[in-house]
A and B are shown apart, each in its own frame.
Chain A
Amino acid sequence: MSQKTRIWIVVAALVVVAAVLAGVGFLSQNQATQAPATTPQPGMIHLYVNGSFAANLLPAEMQKLPAATFVDKEQGKTQKGYWLRDVLQLYVKENALSPSTQITFTGSRQGTEKSATVTWAETLDPANHILFSPSNDGTSVKIAATMDKLATRDNWIQGLTQIGVQTK
C-alpha cells in the first residue's frame, strides 16, 4: 500500500469519527430534551428545591439565556457562562425566592466532593458575578464568582453535580 493511500485512509477514518460524533451529539441533545423531567437523569446536573428533586438542568434551555462574562480576580482571565440568577429563574419561580434563600452548590473534582452556599441576595448582587460556567470542552460546569468565598480557583465549585435551593 502506498504512503498516499495510507494517508487517505487516516483522513477517511477522521471524517468517519466526525460523522459519528455529529450523530451522537444530535442524539444526545434529543435525548436530553426528551428525558423525564420528574426524575434525576444520570450525567446531568440536578436541581433540588427544599430537598425534593425539581429538575435536570438542560443545556438547550441554557442557550436561551444571555451570555455573561467577568474577569476573575485571581488570574485576570475572562470567565464565560450564564449568570446563576438567570439559570435558577429558569426552574424556580422568583416569588419562591427570598433574599435569605440558601443556594448550595455541590461539585466533584478529583473524586472529592465540595460544596458552597450563597444566599439569593448574594446571587442577585451584580458585584458578586456568580457565574454558571460550562468548561471550554463542555465536559463540566463550574460555579465561579468575584465574591470573597468564591473568588479563587480553590474556592470555585468545579465539576458541578447538584444545586440545592432551600427556601425555608
Chain B
Amino acid sequence: MSELKEFRIGDFPVLAEQRYERRPLSRGYNMRTLKVDVGSRGVEEKPVPEDMKKRFVGGKGFGLKLLWDGTKPSTQWSDPENEIVIAMGPVCGNTNYPGSGKSLVVSLSPMTGIPIDSNVGGYFGPYLKFAGFDALELTGKADRETIVLVDGNEGVVRVLGVPEGLEYDTHLLAEQLTRSLALSPDPADLQAVAVVSAGRGADHSPMGLLNFSLYDKRRGGIRVKQAGRGGIGTVLRDKRIRAVVARYRGVEQDSNGAADPAAVQRIGLKLHREIVKNDDRQCKMRKQGTAHLMEVMNDYDLLPTKNHKYGQDPKGPEIASWVWEKLLTQGKPDGCWFGCTLACAHAVDQFELQTGPYKGQKVCVDGPEYETAAGCGPNLYVYDTHGILEINFYCDTYGIDTISFGTMCSFLMECWELGVLNAERTDGIDLSWGNWQGAAQVLHDMADGKRFGVLAGKGVKYLAEHFAKEYGADAQLMRDIALHGKGLEQSEYISKESLAQQGGYYLTNKGPQHDEAWLIFMDMVNNRIPSFEQKAEALHYFPMFRTWFGLQGLCKLPWNDIEPADNARHPEPNKVPEHVQNYRELYTAITGEGLSPEELILQSERVYNFQRLFNVRQGHGRRAEDRPPYRAMGPVLPDEYLAREERYDKQLREKQGLDPAAMSLEEKLGATRRYRLAQYESLIDAVFKRRGWTADGCPTPEHLREIGMDLPEVLAVAEARIAGKI
C-alpha cells in the first residue's frame, strides 16, 4: 500500500460535541438510543420505552421502528429526514457464542424506495452498544463532509469536519481514521476503533454499501465487512457523511451485562467445541468460509452462470472451494467479532492489483464470500480467480455491493451478447462473457462517476427500461432477464427449478435476498415440501426464524453451517433443533427472560409484519411487486430450454400431460412459462394465507392483533390499504 497521509485527532475540527452519562449495560440492553442530525449537528439521547422493547425486541426491530417514526409516507431515500439506523439487539456483543457481533442497518433504499435491512459484522455495533446505545439514528444532510465519532470511554459524541487529504475509498479511509483516531499506536488501541464508511462508488450509484471495519492485529491493518444490500452507502454519502466511528476499549466477557454470564459461557463453549470437532468434516468454514459452496452449487445446477441462464458449467472446478482454500490465508482466527470460532471472514493477502487507480499495489482482499465469488465469477462467465478477487476488492473499497454489481454486470454482458449493447454504447468497454477487465472498467467508471459507469450503476431495473426505450430492445425480454425484485438485484442462486425458492427470494419484504429463506435443497433435491401448503409453511417458518437473528444481533451461519453430529437423525433436520435450543437458552441467559419456541417466532412475526406495513405505508407492498422476472422462474430463451431439454420435456409430460414430441420449441417454451407462472400465483395465495395477509399481500388487522403488532398507527395503515385508500 502507498504511504497514507497521517492525521492527528486535532486535525479534525469539532463542529459539535455532546457529553453523555456512561452507564453499564443491563441484560443486553442500554434502554437508550442515540440520534445524530448531521444537518443541524444536533445530538439527542432517546429512552427506549418498555413497549418498544417488548414489541420490537432490538436490532432490525428497533431500526425499523425508529425509521418509521423518523420518516413520512412521502419520504424519498434522498430526503434529509431519511435515516440510517444502526442497531444491535440484546444478544449482540457477547463474546462467547459464535456469530454474536452483528449490526443491523436499515434505511429507505435508493434502489427500492422501501426499507432495506442489512446484517453486518465488524466491531462498530458492539462498540456502540458498550458505549451506551442500543441504536444510532443518522439523519439530516450535512453542509460539508462530516464524521460522526462516538467515544464510549470518554462518554462523548462529536460531529467532526474532514481535513484536507482524507481519503474516500474505504481501504485507505478506514485505515487512516483508525490510526488517526486511536488514542495511541498500541495495537489494542487500534483495535478499539471501528469505522463505518462507503467509497467513491457510493457517490455515483444507488448500489452503494457500508463497510464496517475491524482492526486485525495479526495483519496489522484494517479489514472490512459489508452491509451490502440496497444502497445504504449511497444514503450515507448523500448525507455527506464520510464515516461514522466508534471508539471503545475494554471489552470483557461480561460487557453485555448478561443475567447469567456462566450460562452464556457454557452455551458458547458447547458450540465452540462442536465447531472445532465437526467443521473440517462439514462445511470447512474455518478454512474456506462460504466459498465452500462453489462446487456444490455447480454440481446441483444451482451456480448462476451467464446471468442465471444456466446453473452449471464444466469450468466450475476452476473456482471450486479447494482453489479458494489455497488462495485464502490459512491459520488465522478470522472472525468478524470476538469469539466466533466459525471464523469465516477470510482474506487473500498480498494481492497485487492489475487495474484501476491502485494498479500494482498489494492489498488485502476481504473475501471472496460465496455470493461474490458466484455473482462476479461464473455469472459473468469469469473463471479466473484473479478477476473475481480484483472485482471483490474494488467493489468493497469503492463502496459498491458485489451482489448487485455482479447481477447488474451479468445483465450487461447478456445484453452485449444479444446485441443490445455494443462498444459505442459502453464507451468502448468490451463486455463479452468472461472479460473481467471489462467488468472492472465498468466499476472504475462507477467510482469516477463518468462514462458508461454512470448509466450501468443505476441497476438492472432502470437499465432494462432504458435499453428498451433508448435502444429499441425487446421490452419483455429485458424484463425477463433483468434479475431484480422491487428494484433490488437478486442474489446468487439459481431459483428456476425450485418454486419454494422463487418464493424465498421474491415473497420477501426487501427484495430477492438470501437471508430470509434458502429452500432449494428441501424443495428440489430432497422433495420434503411437495404441496403448496408445505411450501407455504416453510415460507412462513424459515423467514420468521431467520428474521430473529436480525432482532438479536446474530449471524445466521453458526445456525446451520455447522451442525451437531447427530442432526440428521432429527425428524426436522433443516431446522437444526439443537441450535434453536441453544439460541433460546442464550437469549434467556442474557436477558433473563424465558423464550418458548412459539414466542421466538412471534418476536419475528411482529417485526416482519411491521416491515410489510412499512412498505405499504410507503405506497408499496402489493402482490404485483412480489413477482419474479421470468429468468428466475424458468427458461426464457430457446437455447436456454435446449440446454436442459430433457428436464423440461419431462416436466411437460409429467406435470402438464403434454406430448413435447408434438410441439415446436416455441410452443414448449410457452407452455412451460404459462404453467410456471400459474404455479407461482398458487404459491402466493398459499403463502399470503399462511402469513395472515390479504390476497394483495397486506397483513389483516385481525392478524396484527393476534400477533401483538396492533399499534394504532400500524393498524391504520393496514385498514387504509384494505379500504383502497393507499
Q: Are A and B genuine complex partners?
A: no
Query: B residues bordering A, Cβ < 8 Å?
Result: none
Query: A residues bordering B, Cβ < 8 Å?
Result: none
